[in-house]
Amino acid sequence: MAKATAMSAIGVASMVVAWVLLRVFDLVPEASLPWPTEVAAAFPRLFRDDGFRQGMLDTLGAWLLAVAITSVVGVAVGLLVSTTPGLTRPSAVAVNAFRSIPATALIPLAILVFGLGTSMKVAVAVYAVFWPVLINTVYGVVSTEPMRLDAARSLQWPWWRRQVFVILPSALPSIVTGLRLAVGTSLVVVISAELLGARSGVGTVLVAYQQALAPEVVYAGTIVVGLFGLALYTLMVQAEARFITWVPRNG
């Protein structure tokens, strides 16, 4: 454990050294890449800023709402579609058509329809992650071991019991993979919407700092957002390892 920490410290340190070297030899203009020390000094300023804290809360709220909506609706529709014979393949075709429009392209439209509030961010984020969640649910259900289904049938289990005790457990790892993707992607999309003009959120704050020519604060803010993303991702992986114990995993 201590060794792993030391190793990752070496990795991080080498990145910081590269950053310092870029500065020392002045390879990029100072206005675009400030000294690491300046960025470190910008953290307290960022945390004292009420706008940033409020923006962070707004962003996380919109993100949580989007993830909640998708995980309920996406998984439900996915289960329905994949357990109804004759509906699986047509829905896969339809989903592939719809998800080929990147959600970010729809932000200008969403702004027209929903305005600049939270509902716009949530709508775009849901559009972005609904399809992957749906597809992963369908994959999970479709790849249920047929032998197990046959066994359940020969035990004369009723329909609901097969769904709950055979199909759902074997589809769950794939469903959770979809949700894990959704956690990351929806955060990206929410922040994109904020950059393009939402009324509030961490993206709006970062744009304001950039326009105020305070790049060190922008860097600090991006690092904080990244740490939040990492925390959310780690939480998701931990929950997966904790609750889905019946599939062998490598590494």
Partner 1 sequence: MADLRANQAEMLIDDAVLGAGRSRARTVGGAVALRVRRVVASTWLLAVLLLGWQLYATWRPSVFFPPLDEVMTRFREDWLSGPATRLFLSEQFFDAAVPSLGRLARGWGLAVVVGIACGVLMGRSRFIARAYSPTMRFWMAVPNAALLPIAVQIFGVRDSMNVFLIFVGAVGLIIVNTADGVAGVDEAWIRSAHSMQVPTSKLYLQVIIPAAMPAIMTGLRVSIGIGLILMIISELYATTSGLGYQVTLYQQQFRYIGMWSTFVLIAVIGLLLNGALGIVERRVLRWQRRSGLGAF
Do 74 and 133 form a contact (C-beta atoms < 8 A)? yes
Alpha-carbon distances, residue 193 vs 63, 104, 106 (angstroms): 11, 8, 10
Q: Would you count residue 116 as binding partner 1 (CB under 8 A)? A: no
Per the listing, tokens 């479709």 go with 142
Number of shown-chain residues binding partner 1 (CB under 8 A) = 65
The first and second tokens of residue 246, run together, are: 């019946």
Q: Would you count residue 184 as binding partner 1 (CB under 8 A)? A: yes
Q: Would you count residue 105 as binding partner 1 (CB under 8 A)? A: yes
| DSSP summary character for residue 105 | G
Q: Alpha helices of 100-165 — where are they, by DSSP H?
A: 107-114, 118-142, 146-154, 159-162
Among 122, 182, 206, 220, binds partner 1 (CB under 8 A): 206
Q: Would you count residue 227 as binding partner 1 (CB under 8 A)? A: yes
Instruction: Provide the mask over 46-85, with x wherever binding to partner 1 is found by CB under 8 A and - wherever it is not.
Output: ----------------------------------------
Among 18, 68, 76, 113, binds partner 1 (CB under 8 A): 113
Residue with smaller CB distance to partner 1, 91 or 118: 91
| Residue in 159, 141, 16, 8 with CA at minimum distance from that of residue 83 | 141
Interatomic CA distance for residues 107 and 164, integer angstroms: 38
Scan residues 5-34 and list those touching partner 1 (CB under 8 A): 7-8, 10-12, 14-15, 28, 31-33
Q: Angle of helix 118-142 relative to helix 50-83, nearest 10 degrees?
A: 30
Q: Would you count residue 90 as binding partner 1 (CB under 8 A)? A: yes
Among 54, 163, 177, 222, binds partner 1 (CB under 8 A): 222
| Residue in 132, 167, 123 with CA at minimum distance from that of residue 148 | 167
| DSSP summary character for residue 156 | T
Q: Would you count residue 101 as binding partner 1 (CB under 8 A)? A: yes
The first and second tokens of residue 226, run together, are: 């990244």
Residue numbers at the binding site for partner 1 (CB under 8 A): 4, 7-8, 10-12, 14-15, 28, 31-33, 86-87, 89-94, 96-97, 100-109, 112-113, 139, 142-143, 184, 187-189, 191-192, 195-196, 202-203, 206-207, 209-210, 215, 218-219, 221-223, 225-227, 229-230, 232-233, 250
